[in-house]
Chain A
Amino acid sequence: MIWLTWRQFRGSAAMMAAVLIVLAVALAATGPGLVSAYSAGIADCTKDNTCDHFYNVFFNEYNLPFMALTLAVLILPAVVGIFWGAPLITRELEAGTYLLVWNQSITRGRWLTVKLGLTGLVAMAVAGLCGLMVTWWSDPLDESATESMALMAPLVFSARGIAPMGYAAFAFVLGVTVGMVVRRTLPAMALTLAAFAAIQLALPATARPHLMAPVTATFQLGRANIDSLNIDREGGGAPRLFLREAVPGHPGSWVLTNELLDPSGRVISGGSSGTGALINNVSSTSGPCKPSSAAGGEDGCLGEINRLGYRQQVTYQPLERFWLFQWIETGIYALLTVGMTWLSFWWIRRRLS
C-alpha cells in the first residue's frame, strides 16, 4: 500500500521537492549576506544613534523578497489542501478506481490510513521546513520591521516558526474530508480553499488575541509611541496628537488596542485613527504649545502634555510570547486535524460507497 501511495504521489512530491530546493538554495545564498549587512548597519548606527533610520532603510530595501516569502509560506498550506488533499480521494471516485483498490485484500480503513499518513507527513514536513527556512532567512528583517510587520503581527506570525506545519496538516486533511463528502474534484478544491481561508482569517481575529491574557499598560508620550503632534501655525486650535501602534520598551509587540487617556483617565477618541486626538486642555495661544514659542517646538509641547497627565494606554501581546503562541496555535491546529481525520475515517466506513 505504501508503494501504491508513493507511486500515485511521487509526481507532485517531486514537483514540490524541486520548488523547495530552489527556495532553499536561494535562501542559503542570500541569507548570510543579509545577516552581515544587518550587523554592519547596526554597528554603524549605534555610534551616532540613528538606528531607527537604519531599520527603515534596511527593511525597505528588502521589502519585496520579505513580502513574497511571507506570502509564499502563508499560501503553501492552502496549496497543499487544494492540490494534495482534495483530489486524494475524489480522483479515485471520479475514475472509478476506488472499486479496484478497495477490492484488493486490504480494508479501506487501512488504505486511507496509509494515504493520509504518508501524504500528510510529507505535507507537514514541507510546510515545516519552509516555515523554518523563511524564519531563519528573514530574522534580520523581522528585527528591523515596524510593528505592523513584526513577528507578532497576524500575517507575519502565521508565516513563521512551526505554525505553518499545523496549518498544512489541517488543510490537507480538510481537503481529503471535503473531497470525500463532495465526491468531485473541482467543487472540493473550491470548498477547501473557502473553508480554510475562512478559518485562517477568523482565528487571528478572534481567538489568537486571547490565547493568553494580553498585557495592559500606560506610558508617557514620547518619540516611541507618537507619530506626530500637529500644532496649528495660525494659533487658536488645540494641538492634534497621532499615536503610533507601538509599545515603548517592548518593540515588536502585537498591539491590540491603542488609546490616548486624558488627565482624568478618560479615553480621547481619534488617537490611533487618521483624525488624531484633540488635546483641549493645552493652550495654543501661550506656553510651550504656542507656535514659535521660545520653549516650543514639538518636544516642548509634548513635555507640557505629559506634565498635564496625558498618557498612552495599550493592550498588547509582547514579542517574548512568540514561541509560546506558536506552540499553542500549532496545538490548536493539531487538534482540528485530529478531529477532521476522525471524521474522514467515519465517513469512509459509514457513508462512502
Chain B
Amino acid sequence: MTSALQAQALGKKYGKRWALRECTIDIPAGHVVGLVGPNGAGKTTLLKLAGGQLQPTAGDITVLGGRPGSTPAQLAKVGFVAQDTPVYAGLTVAEHLRLGARLNPRWDATMARERIAQLGLDSTRRAGKLSGGQRAQLALTLGLAKRPELLILDEPVASLDPLARHEFMQGLIEATVEHQFSVVLSSHLVSDLERTCDYLIVLVESRVQVAGEVDELLATHHRLTGPRRDLDRLPADQQVISARHTEQQSTFVVRTDAPIHDPAWTVTELSLEDLVLAYMDKQTADNRRAALEVQR
C-alpha cells in the first residue's frame, strides 16, 4: 500500500525557533488522520509542508509519492483547506465554483453544484456575506470537488459553533465514504476527531509524540492504578507515557503490547481523549524523549 504522507527527519525552522523537528512518520493511504496538539505545537507547519506551501529546513517529505506542491499534477492530487477557511469575500458562491472548475483538471462540477444545493447556499451570494459555517462548507466544497487523493484540513472547525462543527464533520465523513480518499485533519480538540478519525498523530512542542491507528493505540495503552510505586519498578516492556502520584497511590498510563499480569494494578481502558492528554503531559514528555534517545 502506498503512503499518503511520508516524512524523514523533517524539520522547519523560523528564524532560530524550530516549529517542527525530527518528524518521522509514515501514514498509509486510506485513513482519516487526526493531527492533535496544543496551539503552537507545529500542526499548521506540518500541514503546510505537506501542501507545499512551505519548504522544509531539514529532512524530506513526500506526499502520495511526490514532492509537495512541485507540479500542477501534484497540486491536483492534494486538496488543502486552510485555517479559518479563507474564501474570496468579493466573489459569489457560483464564482468560487467557476474558479475551481477553471483551475483544476479533475474538477467534479456535478458534485460541487449538488453539494451547494444540499447545503442550501444561495449561489449568487457573495462569500463575504456568508456565515462562518457556510464559508467553511464552501471551502470544503472547493477542496472536495477538486477530487483529490489526499485532502488536508487545517483546523477547519476551530471557529465554528457546535452545530456547524457537526455539520461540517458530517459532510466530510459522507464524502470520504463515497469517494475513497485520504484525509489529514488537524485540531486542538480531541472531541472534534473522536468520531471521525481512524489514525492519530499527537504533536507536542514541535515533536511527534505518537502516531498510529486509533484502534491499535487504544488496545496498547492502559491506565494502571495501584499502591504508590516508582517508575523504574515497572516492567521493561511497559513504556510509561504519564505518571501521577498521591501519598499512597500511583497512576500510570503505559504503552505495552503484552498483557498486564501484576495483580497490584487496577487496569482501565483509556478513551482517545485520555490518551492524548497523557501524551500532552509536560513532565513526562521530557522523560519520554530521553528514553527514546537511549533506545537509539
A contacts, CB < 8 Å to B: 1, 3-4, 7-8, 95-97, 99-107, 110, 353
Shortest beta-carbon distance from A88 to chain B in Å:
14
CA A270 to CA B78, docked complex, whole Å: 75
Shortest beta-carbon distance from A241 to chain B in Å:
66
- Render B114-139 as a binary contact track against A, CB cut-off 8 A, 1 for contact: 00000000000000000000000001
Within 8 A of A (CB), among B255-280: none
CA A103 to CA B51, docked complex, whole Å: 8
CA A331 to CA B150, docked complex, whole Å: 48
- 19 CB contacts below 8 A, A to B, read A3-B99, A4-B102, A8-B88, A95-B86, A99-B80, A100-B82, A100-B139, A103-B78, A103-B80, A103-B143, A104-B100, A105-B73, A105-B103, A105-B105, A105-B106, A106-B75, A107-B69, A107-B72, A110-B72
Known contacts A99-B80, A103-B75, A107-B75; A4/B103 CB under 8 A: yes
Residue B37 interfacial (CB < 8 Å): no
| A103-B82, A103-B143 given; 5 more Cβ-contact pairs under 8 Å | A8-B88, A105-B73, A105-B146, A106-B103, A110-B72
Residues in B neighbouring A353, C-beta threshold 8 A:
48, 53-55
Q: In the complex, what residue of chain A is closest to B73 when comparing beta carbons?
A: A105
Q: In the complex, what residue of chain A is closest to B103 when comparing beta carbons?
A: A104
Shortest beta-carbon distance from A50 to chain B in Å:
61
CA A107 to CA B53, docked complex, whole Å: 11
- Render B200-235 as a binary contact track against A, CB cut-off 8 A, 1 for contact: 000000000000000000000000000000000000
Contact at A100–B103, with CB atoms within 8 Å?
A: no
Residue B91 interfacial (CB < 8 Å): yes
CA A110 to CA B76, docked complex, whole Å: 14
Residues in B neighbouring A99, C-beta threshold 8 A:
53, 80, 82, 86
Q: B48, B55, B103, B142: which has the most chain A beta carbons within 10 Å?
A: B103
Q: In the complex, what residue of chain A is closest to B101 when comparing beta carbons?
A: A3
B contacts, CB < 8 Å to A: 48, 51, 53-55, 69, 71-73, 75-76, 78-80, 82-84, 86-91, 95, 98-100, 102-106, 139, 142-143, 146
Known contacts A106-B72, A106-B103, A107-B75; A95/B95 CB under 8 A: no
CA A220 to CA B284, docked complex, whole Å: 97
Contact at A97–B86, with CB atoms within 8 Å?
A: yes
Residues in A neighbouring B139, C-beta threshold 8 A:
100
Contact at B95–A7, with CB atoms within 8 Å?
A: yes
CA A101 to CA B55, docked complex, whole Å: 18
Report which of B54, B76, B86 forms a contact with A105, defined as CB distance below 8 A.
Answer: B76
Which 9 pairs from chain A and chain B are nearest by CB?
Answer: A96-B86, A104-B103, A99-B82, A103-B80, A105-B76, A105-B104, A105-B75, A353-B54, A97-B86
Residues in B neighbouring A8, C-beta threshold 8 A:
88, 90
Residues in A neighbouring B53, C-beta threshold 8 A:
99, 102-103, 353
Shortest beta-carbon distance from B73 to chain A in Å:
8
Q: In the complex, what residue of chain A is closest to B154 when comparing beta carbons?
A: A99
Residues in B neighbouring A105, C-beta threshold 8 A:
72-73, 75-76, 103-106, 146
Report which of B55, B75, B88, B105 forms a contact with A97, defined as CB distance below 8 A.
Answer: B88
Shortest beta-carbon distance from B154 to chain A in Å:
9
CA A7 to CA B94, docked complex, whole Å: 13
Shortest beta-carbon distance from A197 to chain B in Å:
30
Residues in B neighbouring A95, C-beta threshold 8 A:
86, 88-89
Q: In the complex, what residue of chain B is closest to A4 when comparing beta carbons?
A: B99
Shortest beta-carbon distance from B48 to chain A in Å:
7
CA A103 to CA B104, docked complex, whole Å: 10
Shortest beta-carbon distance from A8 to chain B in Å:
8
